[in-house]
Amino acid sequence: MVLIYVVLGVLVALFLFEMWRQLYKLNTVNNLIRTYEHDVENPKLIDEMYDFCLKDRKLKKVMAKYNPTKEDFDKLYHKLLLWTNFRKYRRFVPISSFFAVYSLDYLLSHKDMDAYDLSKKMCNFFNI
């Protein structure tokens, strides 16, 4: 019976940790969107996105897989900015795309793709 409580306690702790991590990431994305939505050419944005991706425990696995540089992030960001420079609800595709594991993996694996097709894929990912 004690083992069940221990396992249940570990599962609850894991759930709370994952929820905290997700809320922290969403808060970071929202802060970046609010800060840089109307200042899209600010180079500090790329630095902040790149640094966050290197620190996040799930995103850093994707970063290690592709070893992108800040120039890769900048190139992808500007490709997305060409066709998706608008905000819908709490999403701003050029920023939000770098903070989900699937979308970051797709961006980095298709970094030479046409800007329109890449933007269309990210809009589909976020249901925009």
pLDDT, tens digit (0-9, with 9 covering 90-100), for 56-84? 888 888 898 888 888 988 899 988 888 77
Count CB atoms within 10 A of the CB of residue 33. Answer: 17
Are 52 and 73 in contact, with CB atoms under 8 Å apart? no
* Structure confidence by residue, pLDDT tens digits, 85-116: 776 777 788 888 888 888 889 889 888 888 88
Give residue 22's pLDDT.
86
Query: What's the mean pLDDT when you consider all of the chain?
Result: 86
Are 96 and 33 in contact, with CB atoms under 8 Å apart? yes
Give residue 41's pLDDT.
81
Residues 47-58, mean pLDDT to the nearest whole number: 88
Which pTM was predicted? Answer: 0.79
Are 103 and 122 in contact, with CB atoms under 8 Å apart? yes
Give residue 11's pLDDT.
93
Rounded to whole angstroms, the Cα distance separating 26 from 72 reads 23
126 phi and psi angles, rounded to 5 deg: -95, 10
Which residues make Cβ contacts (< 8 Å) with residue 80, sequence separation at least 6?
93, 94, 97, 115, 118, 119, 122
Query: How much of the chain exceeds pLDDT 70, in percent?
Result: 99
In this prediction, residue 19 has a pLDDT band, given cuts at 50, 70 and 90, of very high
